[in-house]
Structure 1
């Protein structure tokens, strides 16, 4: 017969069975949750990041923060988009309410809300104007398509705009899953869905990540699709339209440019007294300068001088200077109308005097006018090139001086001009508190390498500016302090002092040039010489770094034999 312990035992077994079932249910529930968590796809649909934009614009898998407006032929893109993605140099000038575009051979000016524009100062008609809406400037795509190497496509389904650059290769894929495929925000099935793909729908494959493709639909949405759902279909290369420019840059015989500046203050030199200058290609007289802030240009040109130069095979590229006047410069560069006034006058002078180029020499400029100087050069160069004129610009070596060095945007300027002359002199300037070389060799080389290595100026555009002058320094001790003064000397004047004082120059390794000193009473007189030795060293730098050539300041300060030194050294490696 049963004992009293049997009911208790049955109850214990029942409890264990229930506990086991609960544990089993828990395990199955956990397993189901785990499997759902890791293998069940997310069914949540979310809006795209750009869903608030009525007409989003895409480029290389990214979208712009502002919408386009219009459609088809009337489509317009935000100016900020063009500046960021297509052309950072395109400019909106508030003073004239104009958009200004400069290319290699064109300058276009579009005034807001006007259907007439100017291309190289000639009127053209637009189908749709530049528009200002809610403080955003919109530019019609009509001129953009003509000026820039970009392909602009508009989705008929969504109105989204996708931009491609000419030469881009697009990889297209096709959705092959009969049940459809989802475009997700991340490369996982747990990510939300931004769009669905129909069977055979094509997408651009932007990249791949493990078992996923990052794609963009023709209607705009960007996201991730499983590789298993996409078959690679074909590649498309956006056709490149070759730019045809009428301007063919002039190249000096022998390859390396040999230029000199002619200093004209009020009267041009008597050319009958100018000796032979073998090897010279270009002469640049200081003829033109800003006379006021409205853009009027002062003219010292001389047709007889041009004929003399060209009869001897020299090209004439006169200087256009700002007169070292920062206020005048700031005003003259401040608007398109003033800048174009300068340019028109120079074009007229070029025709009148049969010039072959210009040399821009703007110095002592406010840092705030840095961008306006670049804009002036961008606007000037296409006009000059259209007439076959070379454009060059003078820059100082790099320094921390705002008004003499920092206002030059050298990389931007170098993209536009034919030549950039680095004025590698005045290391120790006329009023320097310490005496020293006008241009020691180490300092000169550093001036060159900084532009090549830091600013990435192409060596085939960089011209080394060299001095034909030196300085006679006077050091005098007064009240226990040394005072320094200087006087500019031509090469000939320095050699006369050496001869008269019976001095013997010694080579200074620190300066890389010859040096003399002597006493006049208690005064110490010092001269770092510019001569054959220093000139040969400088031209060897041109060859060492394969620079475009040499430019000398200034004609008349040299000894006659210097021209042969320059010519022979330039030609040594050619």
Structure 2
């Protein structure tokens, strides 16, 4: 029995060996081997597809730099790559990092004004004027001198660069620098950011995904700033100034933070009148014209500010010509009327306003000269009326207002600045900067259609006034706005394709219509009486200014609680208009 049992067991083992043997058929054998190879290759592909890549991207490939001493800039978590044919944004010289003036003005602080003729930088705070010469380590704050270890301004490739340490004195930023490659990481005060902690050592990748190249590594406990969340990945800024992507599963403790201010908030002070301003301009084209002031004033009611057009730019060195009169000032003061002398650039055609404003010495002369005139004539204020300024003079113009305002305040002089209604073409007048420094900003809500316009139209329609006020309020507080309205209109003559006009005061225009028996009709769209008639083959049209039209405009002043009103110009108006004005200003 035992022998038979062992024999059966042996036969079973032999049968099992035969069942496990590789088929002797060659085709079947090859197919089996191919299946095994395919299976193994599939596993390799899967590993290659899903396993994180270890391939690295050099930071010198990420931070593209074209200059040997260039530094890349990361501002508020954003890498500012320099476009082609553009000066680099930052340089490192003797261990000091410098930011280009263009980058500073565009992204940090527009207050730095560089004169590339005299190589002087100016910056004005709420109390001080700072001045720096190219290449120097010293600088002045008003009349005091201070210094830094390295030159404050360097000049390379036709661009001024400012030491970041100097910028930090006046622009509220924090920063740190990193080498290999050079980069500076800047944060502005008040920047809101999301900060997180890294859970464990991991990589920062160029893009989200395991197959993206590795830019850098971060360690457990490192702090990163989360810039964008892509779902499973986030773009973060590391402590050593690298922007890369990290898995969200590797982050913890996300919190909202705000970059702290390091500078005290500036407090801009203004001199204000205690009553509603009721101002008129008194046009003076020669000294003898002052003799007519008494008659003009006797026609008014409630006027409390007179702005005579006495002063003008007389040369490119900042000279000021004048038609002033102490007698006229005395006359006004006796009647309780303040005098704000007007400075214009409309008298001497040869004066290059851009050159005067952009050249530091000429601008200084202009400020000192107009102040000397104000003091000599015992003025209460200065009214600046610099018109048709070139965009190239924008920096110099605003710096002129800033520096003049500080000196006006020291001399107890009110500073007002005349402005067009806001348009894209006049944005560089920078009304918001004016509002910080000047006491009042005047909206010249007229010349909607002017001499030289291609079509006839209203000088000051009601919507033009409303929109001018609305747009100015976006930049200037209501209690600093003076709404200037016209005491004049224009008679338009259209012949075929030719359009010309004649300016007329309110009184003259009214008398013209009566004399020529011309009827008017009220136009709701413009808020004015309108007349049109044919004569000698031409079409004449006129949009009248009268008590009713000005009343509508004065309602805009009242509705917006503005500081006051002004009118161009004294002598153009009928005496009855002052009763209408008084309803809103008394």
Q: TM-score range by the shorter chain?
A: 0.7 to 0.9
SS of 2:92's equivalent in the other structure is coil
Query: Which residue number corresponds to residue 566 of structure 2?
Result: 551
Match of 1:355 among 348, 356, 379: 379
What residue is the counterpart of 1:101 in the other structure? 123
Q: 1:183 to 1:563 in 2, by over 3 A?
A: same
Identify the residue that residue 61 of structure 1 maps to in structure 2: 77
Matched with 2:278 is 258
* 8 Å CA contact retained: 1:377, 1:413: no
Query: CA–CA distance in 2 between the matches of 1:137 and 1:515?
Result: 56
Distance 2:223 2:541 in 1: 79
Instruction: Report the Cα distance in structure 2 between the residues aligned to 1:474 and 1:308, rounded to whole angstroms.
Output: 41
Which of 11, 29, 32 does residue 20 from structure 1 map onto? 32
Q: d(CA) in 2 for partners of 1:391 and 1:515?
A: 37
From 245, 249, 253, the counterpart of 1:224: 245
**How far off its partner does 1:94 sit?**
1.8
Against the structure 1 CA distance between its residues 383 and 37, is the aligned structure 2 distance closer, same or farther, given a 3 Å change threshold? farther
**CA positional deviation for 1:272:** 4.3
- Report the count of equivalent residues: 543
Once the two structures are superposed, residues 376-397 of structure 1 have per-residue CA deviations (whole angstroms, 9 ceiling, x without a partner) of 4455444445555444333445
Deviation of 1:288 after TM superposition, in Å, equals: 0.9
Q: Is the CA contact 1:472–1:489 (under 8 Å) kept in the aligned structure 2?
A: no
1:224 deviates by 1.6
2:486 maps to 467
Q: Which moved more, 1:339-348 or 1:87-96?
A: 87-96
Structure 1 gaps, min length 5: 1-9, 400-404
Distance 2:499 2:359 in 1: 46
Provide the C-alpha distance between the structure 2 equivalents of 1:339 and 1:507, rounded to a whole number of angstroms: 48
Distance 1:523 1:219 in 2: 75
Task: Please state how far the C-alpha of 1:110 moved relative to its aligned partner.
Answer: 1.6
The equivalent residue for 1:285 is: 308
Question: SS of 1:186's equivalent?
Answer: coil
1:46 is aligned to 2:57: yes
Deviates more, 1:370-379 or 1:263-272: 370-379
Distance 1:433 1:307, change over 3 A: same
Of 113, 117, 120, 2:135 maps to 113
Q: Show CA shifts across 1:490-519 (max 9, x none).
A: 52x455567777887654556533467899
CA contact (8 A) 1:410 1:457 kept: no
Residues 202-230 of structure 1 deviation map (CA, whole Å, 9 limit, x = unaligned): 33333322222322222211212223333
2:366: which partner in 1?
A: 342
Q: Residue 445 of structure 2 contacts residue 468 of structure 2 at CA under 8 Å; is this kept in 1?
A: no
Cross-structure match for 1:332: 356
Distance 2:254 2:179 in 1: 22
Structure 1 residues 296 and 123, CA gap change in structure 2 (3 angstroms): farther
Corresponding residue for 1:533?
548
Q: 1:409 aligns with which of 415, 427, 437?
A: 427
- Identify which range, 547-556 or 294-303, moves more after superposition: 547-556
Question: Which ranges of structure 2 fall in alignment gaps of 5 or more residues?
Answer: 1-21, 83-87
Deviations 1:49-85 (A, max 9, x none): 127576443212223444442588x553333332232
For 1:455 and 1:244, the matched residues in 2 are separated by 21
Structure of higher CA gyration radius: 2
1:112 deviation in Å? 0.9
Aligned equivalents of 2:153, 2:500: Cα separation in 1: 61
Q: Distance in 2 between matches of 1:219 and 1:71?
A: 21
Task: Give the structure-2-normalised TM-score.
Answer: 0.78
State the Cα distance separating 1:484 from its structure 2 match: 7.0
Helix, strand or coil for the counterpart of 2:298? coil
Q: Which residue of 1 aligns with 2:98?
A: 76
TM-score normalised over the length of structure 1: 0.79
Take 1:522 and 1:54, find their aligned partners in 2: how far apart are those partners?
Answer: 70
Q: Distance in 1 between matches of 2:251 and 2:449?
A: 69
Are 1:153 and 2:176 matched, yes or no?
yes
Q: Which residue of 1 aligns with 2:579?
A: 564
CA drift at 1:296: 0.2
Q: Does 1:439 align with 2:459?
A: yes
Moved more, 410-419 or 21-30: 410-419
CA distance in structure 2 between the partners assigned to 1:105 and 1:327 by the alignment: 35
Deviation at 1:565, TM superposition (A): 0.8
Moved more, 185-194 or 76-85: 76-85
The separation in 1 between residues aligned to 2:559 and 2:268, in whole angstroms, is 33
